[in-house]
Structure 1
Amino acid sequence: MKGVWHGHVKMGAASTLFIFTVEEWDGDYRLAVHSVPGIYSFEAGGLKAEGSKGNELKATGYLAMFGADMTAQLIFGETFLTGTVTLPFGGPFPLEGKKGQPSFRNESLVSKAAEVQGAAVVERTDAEIREQVEQLLGRMSVEEKIGQMSQVGASNFSFGGDVESEPVEVLIAKGKIGSILGAFDMNQVLELQRIAVEQSPLRIPLLFNADVIHGFQTIFPVPLAWSCSWDMEAIRKACAIAAKEAAASGITYNHAPMVDVTRDARWGRVVEGAGEDPYLGAAIAKAQVEGFQGESLLDPDTLIACLKHFIAYGAAEAGRDYNTVDISERTLRDVFLPPFRAGIEAGAGSVMNAFNLYDGIPIAGNTRILRDLLREELGFEGMLISDYAAIDELVIHGAAEGGKEAAAQALHATMDIEMVTRLYEGHLPALLAEGKVAEEQLNAAVRRILTYKFKIGIMDAPYRYVRPEEAYEHYLSPEHLEASRVVARKSIVLLKNNGVLPLAPSRKLAVIGPFAASRDLLGPWQFSNYASETATLLQGLAAKGFTPKQLLYAEGCGVHEPLAGGIERAVEQALQADMVLLALGESSDMSGEAASRMDVTLPEAQLELAKAIAQTGKPVVLILTNGRPLVLEWFENHMSAIVESWFLGSQAGHALADVLLGDYNPSGKLTMSFPYKVGQVPVYYNHYRTGRPLTESNSSQKFISKYIDGPNEPLYPFGYGLSYTTFAYSELALSRAELRTGDTLEVAITVTNTGSRAGEEIVQLYIQDVHGSVVRPVKELKGFQKLLLEAGESRKAVFTLSEEHLKFTTASMRHEVEAGQFKVYVGGSSRETLTAEFEWLA
């Protein structure tokens, strides 16, 4: 049974390809199930072979996306596989398959795509595009204009409630659709585009939209992970590779990057963002847009980038997805707006609305936010797309009486594209007839949509993004895998180390926990067909030369549930080893959209396993796989080392082994604070000062802003991360003590590698506006640099501060600097810094 198997599950006239990976240790089997495309996926361990010949496995896994279980019952022959699969919507469905990895190469598709390639793309000026758009717009009926503003899903699969609609092929042929969501099959992209350009009234090609968040087939670390690299070039390259793979596969319009500032670890979507800081978030937003869009959207290796979710989605109350938001205008502008501003300045072609309210009005119909702020103030001229069914949800919110009013509100707010629901089609004609909306509003939306269809070249060459021969070469290519491994190494954060890391290659290791052999290391929001080829922790260690006798394995428990005899077996293995690598964490479905958690601790089954392993007295290295900050106080007190690896992607196991063995010296720094207790959440470094702040001198007093059962500060603060060497900061110097408009200030500091090996340090600069017309945060990040230092080497980091770094939204709601004292903090985290002062003179 051991090895990789694949087979098709027949569901009536349709079928879905599944890949089954079977591994065995001492009579215990582990089964990983992955569908293609990656919609259905689960892992199960501690399985026993059944049947008269011990050749049957049965496993059930929970699919959070569907809120239901999936069961695979498999019978293995020498080379063939049979059985059944029961899915959340029905079954059991019959399965027939064989041994080995499937081939995704489709020669028929290659041939069909080659037949329609070769059309020349015309490089037009903006003025020439405008002229072409106006000519086409003048030929369009109202129905055809609304069609361009309407998006439909590629299949019947829905992320929310069911959407009633005609078949997608019929809608396209009638000219009622301008874009398609979620067409992951190149055959389908080719066929739907053919219908559009051969059968629709004006032959206008379709946009194909998808969520390519952190990789297409080659998967990179989740965005929260790669933000911890603080490496803009590595992030840009990761996005460029994702775009390259997706664009060759038919995707033209990406629903990424997510640039929401996120301060609440309970919110599942923190995994998709860059953490709690607006300055770093803005830098990463810029890098991602540049990666996805390249130097020109006419380049066939690029995607239209979509900034989401505009705005303040990360401030959802109680960290609960889709919940209400109630923040001040100042917080909106100073905290949540900067990453969007940076993405727009970088040229992002699209923006997606947030699901939440702002000032009591849902964003999807909020003219103040979408028209006045986004369009007029920020100057955004690209496509504005609704999030999934967000226009329809205006009715559910209670902001619109019905679908007709919702459609009018969204159009008035300048919403160009309605995702999946059909309110524009159903109500805009009547609204036009009644004079409640104007045709020029439709024209404005369609202009923006058609402009981008010209910008990406599909108006000349509609099939240019379906290049299967090229796509197959890109998927998991050595170059792309190496790039994923590089970013993964940079994303790992060493949270604790009492000297047990890096590992000596001679050690005998017990590798224990539900993530020791798991391939669930890709994280949420990825649809790779190659999940079964993800490198596990055990595989990464074996590739470093650890022999089977040096690697003792026990699963110990599942992610959520105990395994019969699991802890006993894990303790037995631990006692035979020199050291324990304890691989714990969250499954992919515990993070991401609709995966908010009340309690950001590890599941009880994993805690019980950890306690039992700690009691063995062996040195224990905790290796975390997760998509959010977790409560780790017990582990900080009982583990010898803690490695935060997040979801690292296709090369996870190899990147982890690189760091654990010291072949790569960890350099990642946290971009979200880790709380001591859940009750601290949301906890973040750049909070406002209180009138009764907690200090060392007043900590014993009662009437102070503090908890009576724990500290105010997080366990691990923003910017924190250890290395296998140490760094010392000294000689902080400012080039001047006073600044006026037009001046700049140089801040210099000496950083010394005081350890015994080379290492990279992320030097961070923060400021504090000491007093102002409104209360200012205790610290604000305003610069960072990465220094690679040899052992014993010293080097200066020099930062330049200007007026722009000091501006904020004042009491008069102007973005400006106020006269007064400023403090500068420079160091290796938001907590440990050296300090100097200067004054801004009016």
Structure 2
Amino acid sequence: MRRILLAAVLAMLGTSLPASDKTMDGFISGLMRKMTLREKIGQLNLLPAGEIVTGAEINTEVSGSIAAGDVGGVFNVKGTDKIRALQEIAVRKSRLGIPLIVGMDVIHGYETIFPIPLALSCSWDTAAVERSARIAAREASADGICWTFSPMADIALDARWGRISEGNGEDPYLGSRMAAAMVRGYQGDYSRADNIMACLKHYAMYGAAEAGRDYSMADMSRVRMYNQYLPPYKAAVEAGVGSVMSSFNVVDCIPATANKWLMTDVLRGEWGFDGMLVTDYESIKEIIKHGTAEDLADASAQALNAGTDMDMCSRGYIGTLEQSVLDGRVSAEAVDRACRRVLEAKYRLGLFDNPYKYCDPKRRKKDIFTAENRAAARDIAAETFVLLKNDNGTLPLKKEGRIALIGPLADTRSNMAGTWCVAYTPERYSTLRESMAQALGGKAELLYAQGCNITADERQQKDGEFGKAIKRGDDALMKAEALAVARQADVIVCAMGETAEMTGESSSRAKLAMPDVQAALLAELVKTGKPVVLLNFSGRPTVLTWEQDNVQAIMNVWFGGSEAAHAICDVLFGDKTPCGRLTVSMPRATGQEPLYYNHLSSGRPVEEGAKRYYKFRNNYLDVRNDPLYPFGYGLSYTSFEYGEPRLSAATMERNGGVKATVTVKNTGDRDADEVVQLYIRDRVASISRPVKELKGFQRIHLKAGESREVTFDITPDMLKFYNSELRHVLEPGDFSIMTGPDSRRLKTVKLTVR
């Protein structure tokens, strides 16, 4: 208590207590000697702010629990005034004055919203991703938040799963780079008041949900886990992530939250993670539903014994662990370990030095939704859009004549930002219609019609599942209005696709094609004979097979955040050149899912890109195997030419290295960015290996006509894999080294490892 009082004095003087592992250990050991078992368990109890704060009023029942030391942290409460009020209860009224940790789902921005994480990954720009997390941390910390439940590092191969929007796509290497960048952006070294603690999620294999249904089981071999699914989690741990969140699913038929092999043996034992491990929302309670626990006491004991430190919302720890210690179900030492990790997280954040470190009301005006932050969000959003088709140079559009903007997503604010925007302020964001009018500046006439609903199903749209913020109207009348507008125009821009609520948690879709009435309207607009540009809004890979065959230009704009509308116009009218590249494979048909480029070879393969069906081979009767748009794909307003890859040596020792070089030329007439990609294939190994794996990429800027040599270092680690004994090995033999603009258009050279 004296240390906390001293910290308050030092905070007034603008200084802090010195921090090191040794001093932290001594302080926390001393504090824990004063704590009762109940107070230790109280630190493991994390509650949602909805149970605590209503408007400016504080729930007296829960505030009493905080005062009693029964609450270690709260989440999803916004505003320094509310958070300070809660913190004052903890510091001034609880016996030991232990401050609260305060979290929020700051997934891709706070009030300045960046593109959804899947879109961010399509920038292939780790510096931009890190910058987006840095700005998100600055804004959240200015409003009292010190902990974010991000990044999500789940590999997702099935586009039917709604939460694919929250991750970095299908590739473990790219996912690892992005997860580490976000950790660096959020956390820094904790020394500043605008750093917050990151929380890696969802550990583990949540993205492998069976049939793409959220919360489904995920079942696979451990060899596949180590080679394909675990690397991004491990990369975030190596980047120093301060906390980890367990996933809802089972792993080896054991709920992840109670899986000791996952939580203790791998995470802590193999990877050396020493931070705090928190559950997802009520996942301890869900252990009972999985059928592996009799009741909440049993589930709570299993979770604690597995190594899970903090219980989000189920109240299992606070309600049962005291008795479980008496009964011998769990040990007092296990409670101590969990309590220590929670206290260490608070210490690292500086909350013992200054419980009100994140409660400076002056920061809101100067740090949140600033012009600088918005400019960064606009620039980064423009990097994420993926140009999928551009026949006859349809794009960029000229600012002349008459332009028709049609579609249910053309004049909506709340759908620009996408899923998981807990703190967003959509009334401050522009619609695409508003931004286009501003961008045209009177140089061209902008015509508008909504054209249709999101879907013909009135119940779905009214209930909010498919777009509650979209005005509902009569489809026949809206279509007639849209066609009348289209006939007056020189070019038609369609803003169509998914709404923000159609992806994210609990938003699985069995059909990935354009929703019914939108598809029907688009077909009628194409029949007018006018050039049609489709701006496809989505939080997942969608099926655009008809659109590819019939629409002149297609740009996937995902959900680009608070500045999405301005950024779309920047690219649409050529002020910026599209440079996004897919981090997911986009299917020809939903039935291809799960679909991903780095698959294993069948014993009866067909050639990649085969256009016909082969009997007794690994293919479909009715659709080609390959995606419509492959992983890594994206067009530009210019063109690039790749030379043959060259190696500095044809052979490499197992402890050596070689360089791979490729010449890339901008053969068009616009300066632009290109993402040069490096893939490898282990031709013969002790276990079956993927047909190709991304192992490097470089984002470069080339002026029109400029050529550049791009060099990659081939290291032993790039060629290693986990074998059947889960040993990380490099086996000698031949490797294909491939370079190109995407995972389909590659040129190859052979490397022999001795």
Q: Calculate the TM-score normalised by the size of structure 2.
A: 0.94
Code of the residue aligned with 2:148 in structure 1: it is N
Provide the residue aligned with 2:366 in structure 1: 473
Letter in 1 for 2:436: L
SS of the aligned residue for 1:659 comes to helix
Cα distance in 2 for residues equivalent to 1:639 and 1:754 = 25
Task: Say if 2:120 is the partner of 1:226.
Answer: yes
Q: Offset at 1:545?
A: 2.7
1:318 paired residue among 211, 235, 260: 211
Q: Call closer, same or farther: CA 1:458–1:701 in 2, change over 3 Å.
A: closer
Is 2:505 the partner of 1:593? yes
Deviation at 1:388, TM superposition (A): 0.4
Residues 7-26 of structure 1 correspond to what in structure 2 (within 5 A)? none
Please show how residues 224-623 of structure 1 align to structure 2 within 5 Å: 224-294=118-188, 296-498=189-391, 499-519=393-413, 520-547=415-442, 550-561=445-456, 563-623=475-535
Structure 2 distance, partners of 1:381, 1:697, is 49
| Contact 2:407–2:451 (CA under 8 A) maintained in structure 1 | yes
Distance 1:529 1:810 in 2: 45
* Counterpart in the other structure of 1:716: 629
Q: 1:179 to 1:378 in 2, by over 3 A?
A: same
In structure 2, distance between residues paired with 1:377 and 1:401: 31
CA distance in 1, matches of 2:86, 2:154: 33
SS at match of 1:524: coil
Q: Is contact 2:110-2:424 (8 Å) kept?
A: no
Aligned to 2:719: 806
Instruction: Provide Cα deviations, 1:120-169, integer angstroms capped at 9, x if missing partner.
Output: 421311111110010001100000000001111112499xxxxxx98321
Answer yes or no: is the 8 Å Cα contact 1:764–1:828 preserved in 2: yes
Report what 1:86 is aligned to: none
Q: CA RMSD in A?
A: 1.8
Give the distance between the partners of 1:128 and 1:259, measured in 2 at CA.
32
Q: Is the contact made by 1:182 and 1:209 (CA closer than 8 Å) also made in structure 2?
A: yes
The answer to whether the aligner puts 1:660 opposite 2:660 as a matched pair is no
User: How has the CA–CA distance of structure 1 residues 300 and 116 changed in structure 2, closer, same or farther, with 3 Å as cutoff?
Assistant: closer
Cα deviation for residue 731 of structure 1 reads: 3.4
Counterpart position of 1:161: none
Match of 1:755 in 2: 668
SS at match of 1:565: helix
Structure 2 counterparts to residues 631-646 of structure 1, below 5 A: 631-646=543-558
The residue number in structure 1 matching 2:84 is 190
**2:584 matched to which residue of 1?**
672
Provide the secondary structure at the position in 2 that maps to 1:269. helix
Deviations 1:670-710 (A, max 9, x none): 00110000000111000000011112789553111100101
In 2, distance between residues paired with 1:220 and 1:322?
26
1:724 counterpart letter in structure 2: Y
Contact map agreement 2:642 2:664 (CA 8 A) in 1: yes
Deviations 1:197-243 (A, max 9, x none): 01011100000011100000110000000100000110001000000
Distance 1:359 1:700 in 2: 36
Find the partner of 2:105 among 203, 211, 216: 211
Identity %: 43
- Distance verdict in 2 for CA 1:827–1:293, change over 3 Å: same
What is the CA–CA distance in structure 2 between the aligned matches of 1:673 and 1:265, rounded to whole Å?
Answer: 9
Per-residue deviation, 1:726: 0.4
The residue type paired with residue 202 of structure 1 is L
Q: Which runs of 5 or more structure 2 residues have no equivalent in the other structure? A: 1-7, 54-58, 457-473
- The residue number in structure 2 matching 1:741 is 654
State the Cα distance separating 1:114 from its structure 2 match. Answer: 14
Residue 544 of structure 1 aligns to a residue whose secondary structure is: helix
TM score, norm. by length of structure 1: 0.84
Where relative contact order (Cα < 8 A, 6+ residues apart) is larger, the structure is: 2
* Number of corresponding residues: 722
Give yes or no for the alignment of 1:688 onto 2:600.
yes
For each residue in 1:271-305, what CA deviation from the matched residue of structure 2 results, as whole angstroms up to 9, or x when unmatched?
Answer: 000000000000001100000001x1121101100
Question: Which AA in structure 1 matches 2:402?
Answer: K
Determine the structure 1 residue equivalent to 2:72: 178
Per-residue CA deviation, residues 55-81 of structure 1 (Å, 9 max, x unaligned), is xxxxxxxxxxxxxxxxxxxxxxxxxxx
Quick check: 1:797 aligned with 2:707? no
Q: Is the 8 A contact 2:610 2:624 kept in 1?
A: no
Structure 2 CA distance for aligned equivalents of residues 710 and 273 of structure 1: 28
8 Å Cα contact 1:488-1:649 kept in structure 2: yes
Matching residue's letter, 1:539: E
* Corresponding residue of 2:752: 839
CA contact (8 A) 1:154 1:168 kept: no
The answer for unaligned runs of 5 or more in structure 1 is: 1-112, 159-164
SS of corresponding position for 2:333: helix
Give, in whole Å, the separation in 1 of the partners of 2:11 and 2:406. Answer: 53
Q: Contact 1:366/1:413 (CA < 8 Å) preserved in 2? A: yes
Question: Bigger shift: 538-547 or 354-363?
Answer: 538-547
Given residue 108 of structure 2, which amino acid in structure 1 is its aligned partner? Answer: H
| 1:340-373 CA-partner distances (Å, limit 9, x unpaired) | 1110111000000010011110101011111111
Question: Do the aligned partners of residues 118 and 650 (structure 1) sit closer, same or farther apart at CA in structure 2, a change above 3 Å counting?
Answer: farther
- Aligned residue for 2:261, secondary structure, equals helix
Report the 3-state secondary structure (helix = DSSP H, G, I; strand = E; otherwise coil) of the residue aligned with 1:472: helix
After TM superposition, give the deviation of residue 502 of structure 1 in Å: 0.6
Distance in 1 (alpha carbons) for counterparts of 2:60 and 2:313:
12
Q: Matches of 1:536 and 1:624 in 2, distance apart?
A: 15
| Contact 2:121 2:178 (C-alpha < 8 Å) held by counterparts | yes
SS at structure 2 position matched to 1:155: helix
Quick one: distance in 1 between partners of 2:108 and 2:119? 10
SS at match of 1:392: helix
Bigger helix fraction: 2
Q: CA deviation at 1:493?
A: 0.5
Q: Distance in 2 between matches of 1:305 and 1:745?
A: 36
CA–CA separation in structure 1 for the residues paired with 2:227 and 2:52: 38
Counterpart residue type for residue 574 of structure 2: G
1:631-665 per-residue CA deviation (whole Å, 9 max, x = no partner) reads 00010011110010000011111101110111101
Query: Greater share of strand residues, 1 or 2?
Result: 1
Q: SS state of the match for residue 643, structure 2?
A: strand
